[in-house]
Structure 1
């Protein structure tokens, strides 16, 4: 439970209470205002924000946010020191005339395909420097791993968001609630500068979520290592209080109840589940020399897509520490080594790379992602808007256990995530984008969406954006000064669905 603090101003309390009551009335009225169907809704409705009381407000973060484990600052001190001591001293990069790494669709690769591009500019001396630094850090892992504090046996959901992404995250959290989950959510923010009191202390608790500010840990050891946006995802896992967790991006829609993913294979025995990208791996051969591995065929498994990830700290703390090392030196070294400029270069390849380097168990979903999208320019061009990732439960049953009851994997392995990464469901921004370049359903036909997801997830997504734009029109810092948000998103919703 969160502790409560009294309001400093009775005037502020009365004003906020009046605003919440107005929003509650709007929750009842907005379907009629925008022409949405009356009567029983197609999907569960969420209650309006609870009236503000002294008991319903949590304090802003002080010395350390509720949810951080005791000893985390001390761990970060030891860990960051080990990372700094294992810093590579060389510089690497892609050629000045780099035109892009050759990309192969993984589904088209034949078994035994062995071509691996070698584009990273790195000398023999640089490889030796990187290998020595890598070995030095790996040797520290047995000492560091037992120091990482987390609440053993706990399960939860982890994500990151800046203030600009908060409206998008609310849409995803409503989709998560629709899955039926009871798991708590930890929302990590980079610093106090992006912390929003009303969002974190009023809105998110209604969705079983809380905010955690990373700078409270990072600033305990200032200037030792450089942290940027690239490292926030892996640091959210590292700093989370949970043992077993689902990590998902703020623009990812969860279709399957996460509790089911934690309690079944392959997660129970593997402790790490990743999902595939469309493409073959483009990791440099030099990476495998640096990490003391044989160079694998690109046809063994696809590149990774890290919009979602399952991890157990109890089973994979060493993997997590090496993943964090890869990300801290990611922009300078390991991102080009693991992707060589491929689409989406960033943290996505670091999780699986660390598990392989340490010979830890994992499971990569075999079923390739499908795509939602729409045809533009009078049907001439297809624009992909979302990657559909599949359930590891049925994927494992079919591809590993050879379950004969799964006769058609294309139909019997359900969609677990819809990663809507092209158009962000920000109710203040999406209407203008819709009017200028979309003017149709962004996931394609209702029939195909229902066929793949079992329901019209696009309608639910737009409905959640509508709810956010109307219920919380004054609720986000990113929307300050913007007018007519509810009316604009309402017009789009009415155009699409009425």
Structure 2
């Protein structure tokens, strides 16, 4: 049975996608680079010493200045004019708020489907075990990725429900004439586009979007009713990389970048945005201008601030950021050929992750960037080389509180140090709230068959090292394997992911690894 607002939702989505279609880029794909050189492995590091005598890079390259970032993707005047016109027309047509009755409440959203159904189930189980009562919705993109048992029985038992993409976007009971006029049918969805679609199609007004391989380690419900979300409407978390967005993007989006003012400087060591003490200025006729070859483009006021975003988790309010969400979806629909090259220029992590913050800056809405730099999880192999296996992202509420206090005492460091001895949060900083277990994924059979949990000597190992109890408050790895046992061996849930895998062998592997994890608990820090 359709919900009372189904017709309203379908009409709303048709109108949005008509705007996307009418204002699609009308130029060939943006793939003209001046050379084969790309901005690879631009790790964010404010401790990098630019005055190293062996460093032969130019000042603008060190700084990721406007002139440096202009050397890669090339757009001619005709293409620039066309892209700018399309972007401006779309932006002027987008609504600030959704129709009343389309969305309500707070909730968690995943993109599932196929192998992601198992990872989502593992995360949902963890969320419920933490005591969270937040409603959960899972987008299933394609028919062959829909699993009847998990959507009809398992997820509902965990207060979660599946959203089947084709039926959520377009009315399955539409007449032939309505179906023929369906503008959405002209679009083909895949990959990175699903996240923005999942947010749009969810029933929630306020969304915590999680990757299927992202597992909260504490109950996340309070995030929706606390600052910084209540005052900003968008929260993003940092990624490893420096921002490499092309200067052409700002021209296309009509975003002015200051030549005289700077943004607070990101300090990933202390997890804070701090005043830029001594920006490199040069003299001018009337006033001082920034030395644009020595300052990052994304340090200048008006630009999207450093560092890049990691979209394993994202919070957004549709009541305040609908226009930004629609623009982000537009960026993703036309992302591979147009906006991904503009945002990343071939640098690390190209995809949807830059679109949400860029769209929010483009429409002039507030946002909060978590200042605490991510924690790289992993272990040291037999050669004493670090093997990264996941990312820890921090609590935005504690991050906000920590930095509010830090700013109050930024001119009185002695008093700040005294306060840190008396306050747990100020002393230890924000706690880890999310474990993005992205490489490798927590699929017990693949971990075994691909020898991801076996070292070169044939011994079992902990994927996240021995420090997880300190970082998350408990033995995260043991808890996840216990959840695997409960779901796959106790409840015997059938999933396409494990089709063809002998259940006895699978559960034997889970049991043996649990015994190993239990035997090594004493080695945890």
If the TM-score is normalised by the length of the shorter chain, which range does it land in?
A: 0.7 to 0.9
1:333-354 deviations in Å (ceiling 9; x for gaps): 1111111122221100000000
After TM superposition, the structure 1 stretch with the greater mean CA deviation from structure 2, 287-296 or 214-223, is 214-223
Partner of 2:191: 229
| Cα distance between partner residues in 2 of 1:167 and 1:481 | 15
| Deviation at residue 70 of structure 1 after TM alignment | 4.5
Instruction: Name the CA shift for 1:355/1:496 in 2 (closer, same or farther; >3 Å).
Output: same
1:487 aligns to what?
508
Unaligned runs of 5+ in 1: 1-62
Please give the alpha-carbon distance, in whole angstroms, between the structure 1 residues aligned to 2:193 and 2:108.
18
2:238 paired residue among 251, 276, 280 = 276
Count of aligned positions: 430
Is 1:411 the equivalent of 2:411? no
Shift, 1:196, TM fit: 1.1
Aligned positions of 1:90-489 closer than 5 A: 90=27, 91-93=29-31, 95=33, 98-108=36-46, 113-116=63-66, 117-118=69-70, 119-142=72-95, 145-147=97-99, 150-152=102-104, 154-220=105-171, 221=182, 222-295=184-257, 297-299=297-299, 300-376=305-381, 378-402=382-406, 411-434=428-451, 438=455, 439-445=460-466, 448-473=467-492, 475-483=494-502, 484-489=505-510
Match of 1:76 in 2: 13
1:307-360 Cα offsets, whole Å, 9 max, x none, are 001111111111111111111111111111111122221100000000100110
Shift of the alpha carbon at 1:114?
4.9
Match of 1:52 in 2: none
Deviations 1:373-425 (A, max 9, x none): 0112x133211111111111111112234376556767231001110100111
CA contact (8 A) 1:106 1:280 kept: yes
2:262 match: none
8 Å Cα contact 2:206-2:316 kept in structure 1: yes
Instruction: Check conservation: 2:64, 2:244, Cα contact below 8 A.
Output: no
| Distance in 2 (alpha carbons) for counterparts of 1:126 and 1:284 | 14
Scaled by the length of structure 2, the TM-score of the pair is 0.77
**Paired residue secondary structure (1:306):** coil
Which whole-Å CA distance do the structure 2 matches of 1:69 and 1:104 have between them?
Answer: 46
- How far 1:67 sits from its partner (Å)? 10
8 Å CA contact 1:134, 1:291 repeated in 2: yes
Deviation of 1:433 after TM superposition, in Å, equals: 2.4
**How much is the aligned-residue C-alpha RMSD, in angstroms?**
2.5
Deviation at 1:191, TM superposition (A): 2.4
Deviation at 1:209, TM superposition (A): 0.8
Quickly say closer, same or farther: Cα 1:389–1:410, change in 2 above 3 A: farther
Q: How much does 1:246 deviate?
A: 0.6
Report the CA distance shift for 1:123/1:136 in structure 2 as closer, same or farther (over 3 A).
same
Q: CA deviation at 1:485?
A: 1.4
Structure 2: 5+ residue stretches without partners = 51-59, 172-181, 258-295, 300-304, 409-415, 520-525
Asked if 1 retains the 8 angstrom alpha-carbon contact of 2:453 and 2:463, the reply is: no
Within 2, Cα distance between the matches of 1:149 and 1:219? 18
| Range with bigger deviation, 465-474 or 242-251 | 465-474
Following superposition, the deviation at residue 259 of structure 1 comes to: 1.8
Partner of 1:303, secondary structure, is: coil
Q: 1:339 to 1:148 in 2, by over 3 A?
A: farther
**C-alpha offsets along residues 128-154 of structure 1, whole Å, 9 cap, x if unaligned?**
111111001001113x744485333x0
